[in-house]
A and B are shown apart, each in its own frame.
Chain A
Amino acid sequence: MTDELVIAARRALLDALEALGDQAESIILVGAQAIYLHTGSAEVAIAEFTTDADLAIDPRALQDDPLIEAAMTAAGFTRGTTNPGVWISRDGVQVDLMVPALVAGKGRRSVDAPPHDPHSMRKSAGLEAALVDRELRRISSFEPEDQRSFSTLVAGPAALLIAKLHKLGERVDQRRALDNKDAHDIYRILIAIETDVLARSIEALRADETCSEVVTVALQHLGAYFAADVSSAGNTMAGAAEAELGDPAQVAASTHLLAVDLFEALSDDD
């Protein structure tokens, strides 16, 4: 059962991939839509649910032409007025174009990648691992009448885990229900991907200078919010995302156990 909003989010993603087709080598799918590609079969109580599309952009691989803002506008996207890098599709779905902070230049939120408009993309911390851990996947529509299908770089599970841990770490103190879904996405990754596989990818990323710092911070968050105790904030949030639908206590306990397993696997490798 695919939700109407999930279908619309995929449609907007395809619109953006089509618009940025000539820049495909610099575009990496991140966020929930990337996570679900890896975890589709994971046994969880809440349906896969996302209402937006997140793309990371590697400015080092960007061509001068077409300009990001021109390509997006030509495809019917409108720039959001709140933050840089926010684009709204014709159906009202938000597509975020984000550049990992390490390669985004000196701006606070905008991106230094001339000749592209600095506000066409947003500087975002935590996505650096997606520049390294990624693979080509084919992205197709959920609608039978939409025949579009693009071969696209998709961030790997380890990079996605690191990005989500980063995001959660920035927001955990606010304890907003909205962020429970990020914690639940972390749970999805932990249950869907074998611990050893995840640990090996994280080790490789930790050894890569592009993202070693981000990986270190993410693992600190994994320790503090998941591995420390079953009642740590991240576990509770992951469970709370299933309130009324699944089994919050079971989800919290599972997330904690898998975080501990991951830590053990990482220390075994040392």
Chain B
Amino acid sequence: MKRTTAAEPTPRQVIRALEERLPRGWEIRTWTSSRSAADLTLVVTAPDGSRGWIAIETRGTVERRSLDQITRALQRAVESEPLPTAGLLVARYLSAPLRAELEDRRISYLDLTGNVRMELATPGLFLSDRGADSDPTRGAGRPRNTLKGEPAARIVRALLDSSRSWRIKDLVTASGASVGATYRAVEYLESQGLVTERDESKTFRVTKWTSLLRAWSADYDTFAVNRVTRWIHPRGIQAVLDRAASAELSSRYAFTGSVAAAQWAPFAPTRAALAYSEAPDETSEAWGLRPAPEGTANVLLIEPSVPDGIALVGTSLAAPGFIVAAPAQVAADLLNGPGRNPSEGEALIAWMDDNEESWRL
């Protein structure tokens, strides 16, 4: 399973970069294709309504020696699509020599600095543009990790999970974070425009919860801060869900990732179930999981690094009888997840936006 590294372009960066360069009247959307080997598949609609599909291989950085492998991966991605599909390599930055080599190989490419050369046969489309000639990510970036860690997570989750106006002391109570941590976080959120400036009555509101969620997920990586163990259930994920629905556990758990998201916004079938578990040994035993040999896991158990971790706050019982984490937690975890998880995160955020009243109290 390939982890999306921090440097790899996210689906929304890819879409935004393409949208900026598409001629007027053209549209681009993500396309769900369950058998796809691509990191991301997009569908482009021309003004006359004709459509073309693009299978995308995303890379953080690209080195010359990996071009053969990239060529093969793109070919595999294109061939895995049932509809006529073009391939596109998207990287954070592609140097001039690499771009020349890609052109020789007739591989369409795009980098986030604006270097692009893309050909689509049907509907006919040719994009070509020059961006940067040096890697901008090597320079200084914006301050990161400001919303990292458990206190920030508790504060952001409190702000996300209810739609209301806040005073600092309400937020301290609701989040369980310290007064100091709450002040620091709110000041930072104010400076970023993620919450309104405190007025005379010392109250503030979240300006746009989607922006707050994305800012938090950029800094908070559940896979990095918590202990992750890898398991396999030989009968697959459905068997795990059935067991979870019927087993009695003395410790708490909650599914996150695709399994949880599917309760609200169904996406492609998933290959791995992700669940928070206070006691992975008890959970694995009850669900019939075995330790997974390298590369075979279909269940990942995430043990919160602190007692009463935020991930297990706001859980709910899903219709099939197992417990799922709160939508905001699930969305943040998906945005940081492997493979197609970030696209699923986007789909969940779209659902959350349409159904705010059902999860944001």
Query: Which A residues are within 8 Å of any B CB, using their own CB?
Result: 42-44, 190-191, 230, 244-247, 249-250, 252-255, 257-258, 261
Q: B47 an interface residue at 8 Å Cβ cutoff?
A: no
- Chain A residues positioned under 8 Å from B176 (CB to CB): none
Measured CB to CB, the nearest residue on chain A to B76 is: A244
Q: Would you call B35 an interface residue if the criterion is a C-beta within 8 Å of the partner chain's C-beta atoms? A: yes
Q: With A and B bound together, what is the CA distance between A63 and B35 in angstroms?
A: 48
Bound CA–CA A220/B21 (angstroms): 62
Q: Which residues of B contact A250 (CB under 8 A)?
A: 232, 271, 295-298
- Which residue of A42, A249, A257 contacts B290 across the interface (Cβ within 8 Å)? A257
Question: Bound complex: CA of A253 vs CA of B234, how far in Å?
Answer: 7
B320 to chain A, nearest CB (A): 14
B300 to chain A, nearest CB (A): 13
- Say yes or no: B35 contacts A245, CB within 8 Å: yes
Residue total for B at the interface (Cβ-Cβ under 8 A): 21
State whether B234 touches A254 (Cβ < 8 A): yes
Q: Which residues of B contact A (CB under 8 A)?
A: 35, 37, 76, 80, 232-239, 271, 290, 292-298
- Min C-beta distance of B100 to chain A, whole Å: 31
Rounded to whole angstroms, the CA-CA distance of A43 and B238 in the bound complex is: 7
Specify which chain A residues have a CB less than 8 angstroms from the CB of B297 in the assembled complex: 250
What residue of chain A has the Cβ atom nearest to residue B293's Cβ? A253
> CB-nearest residue of chain B relative to A230?
B293
Contact B234 A257 (CB under 8 A): yes
Interface secondary structure of B, over-half rule:
loop
Q: Are A244 and B292 in contact (CB under 8 A)?
A: no
| Nearest chain B residue, comparing its CB with the CB of A194 | B235
- Give complex CA distance A230, B239 in Å: 21
A191 to B234, CA, bound (A): 7
Residues A252 and B296 in contact, CB atoms below 8 Å apart? yes
Interchain CB contact (< 8 A) of A258 among B234, B238, B293, B294: B234
A130 CB, nearest partner CB in chain B, Å:
25
How far, in whole Å, are A250 and B239 apart by their CA atoms in the complex?
A: 15
Write out the residue numbers on chain A whose beta carbons fall within 8 Å of the beta carbon of B296. 247, 249-250, 252-254
Complex: chain B residue closest to A254, CB-CB: B234
Chain A neighbourhood of B298, CB < 8 A:
247, 250
Distance in Å from the Cβ of B238 to the closest Cβ of chain A? 5
- Residues of A contacting B232 with CB < 8 Å? 250, 253-254, 257
Instruction: Determine how close the nearest CB of chain B comes to the CB of A245; give it in whole angstroms.
Output: 6
Please name all residues of chain A whose beta carbon is closer than 8 Å to the beta carbon of B290 when the two chains form the complex.
257
Chain B contacts for A43, CB-based, 8 A: 235-239
B37, B80, B235, B292: the one within 8 Å of A253 (CB): B292
Instruction: Write the nearest CB–CB distance from A201 to chain B, whole angstroms.
Output: 18
Residues of chain A within 8 A of B239, CB atoms compared: 43
Residue in A closest to B37 when the chains form the complex, CB atoms: A244
**Complex: how many Å from CA A122 to CA B250?**
59
Partner of A191, one of B235, B271, B292: B235
Residue on B with the closest CB to A250? B296
A191 and B293 contact, Cβ closer than 8 Å, known pairs A244-B37, A244-B76, A250-B271: no
Chain A residues in 8 Å Cβ range of B236: 42-44, 191, 254
B237 partner residues in chain A, CB cutoff 8 A = 43
A256 to B165, CA, bound (A): 56
CB distance from A85 to the nearest CB of B (A): 35
Closest partner residue, chain B, to A251 (CB atom): B296
Query: Does B271 contact A247, Cβ atoms closer than 8 Å?
Result: yes
Known contacts A43-B236, A247-B298, then 10 further A-B pairs from the complex at CB < 8 Å, ordered by chain A residue: A44-B236, A191-B235, A244-B80, A245-B80, A253-B234, A253-B292, A254-B235, A254-B236, A257-B234, A258-B234
Chain B residues lying within 8 Å of A246, measured Cβ to Cβ, are 271
Distance in angstroms between the alpha carbons of A245 and B296 in the assembled complex: 15
User: Which of A230, A247, A255 has the most chain B CB atoms closer than 10 A to its own CB?
Assistant: A247
9 A–B contacts from the bound complex (CB under 8 Å): A43-B237, A43-B239, A191-B234, A247-B298, A249-B294, A250-B296, A252-B296, A254-B232, A254-B296
Alpha-carbon distance A244/B255, docked complex (angstroms): 27
Closest A residue to B297 using CB positions: A250
Cα distance, A247 to B80, chains bound together (Å): 14
Q: What are the 5 closest A-B residue pairs judged by CB atoms, nearest first?
A: A254-B234, A253-B296, A43-B236, A257-B234, A249-B295
Query: From residue A251, how far is it (CB to closest CB) to chain B in Å?
Result: 9
Complex: A246 Cα to B272 Cα, angstroms:
12
Q: B291 CB to closest chain A CB, in angstroms? A: 10
Q: In the assembled complex, how far is the CB of residue A242 from the closest CB belonging to chain B, in whole angstroms?
A: 11
Q: A168–B292 Cα gap in the complex (Å)?
A: 26
Which residues of A have CB within 8 Å of B234? 190-191, 253-255, 257-258, 261
- Which residue, of B35, B234, B271, B290, has the highest number of chain A Cβ atoms within 10 A? B234
